[in-house]
């Protein structure tokens, strides 16, 4: 069983379209995240949710809207896609209550290409 699974794995779409990436974790964690890895391989946090509540929003354009229907799911919806949104998006989860010692589990990533 995959601990953190993302769908789709690859997404190619045209500029201006709206797309969603889904993430599910079966680890019983209460905190989930979205990270973005750009073409230079730099990984940066975008959002985090704890118990369905938004905790971190790292100055991401409001075209990006995360939604957490329950603790096991965190989806990422992107409106009006731009060329610069092309990147690999990683979902992750951890047990928030253990604070700084919590290890995070990452999904395999969704490679988004905007043409």
Partner 1 sequence: DAKTTQPNSMESNEEEPVHLPCNHSTISGTDYIHWYRQLPSQGPEYVIHGLTSNVNNRMASLAIAEDRKSSTLILHRATLRDAAVYYCIPKSNAGGTSYGKLTFGQGTILTVHP
Site residues, partner 1 (CB under 8 A): 4, 31, 33, 35, 41-45, 48, 50, 55-56, 90, 92, 94, 96, 99-109
- C-alpha angle 28-75-38 in degrees, rounded to nearest 5: 110
Min dist CB 76 to partner 1, Å, is: 15
Min dist CB 68 to partner 1, Å, is: 14
From CA 17, how far away is CA 34, in angstroms rounded?
20
Report which DSSP code applies to 71.
Answer: T
Min dist CB 42 to partner 1, Å, is: 7
What is the token pair recorded at 112?
């988004």
């Amino acid at each position: 069983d995959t601990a953190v699974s993302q769908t789709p794995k690859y997404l190619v779409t045209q500029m201006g379209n709206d797309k969603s990436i889904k993430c599910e974790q079966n680890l019983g964690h209460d905190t989930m995240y979205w990270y973005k890895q750009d073409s230079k391989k730099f990984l940066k946090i975008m959002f985090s949710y704890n118990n369905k509540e938004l905790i971190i929003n790292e100055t991401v354009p409001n075209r990006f809207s995360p939604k957490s229907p329950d603790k096991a799911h965190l989806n990422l919806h992107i409106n009006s896609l731009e060329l610069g949104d092309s990147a690999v998006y990683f979902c992750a989860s951890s047990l928030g209550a253990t604070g700084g010692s919590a290890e995070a589990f990452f999904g395999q990533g969704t490679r988004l290409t905007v043409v």
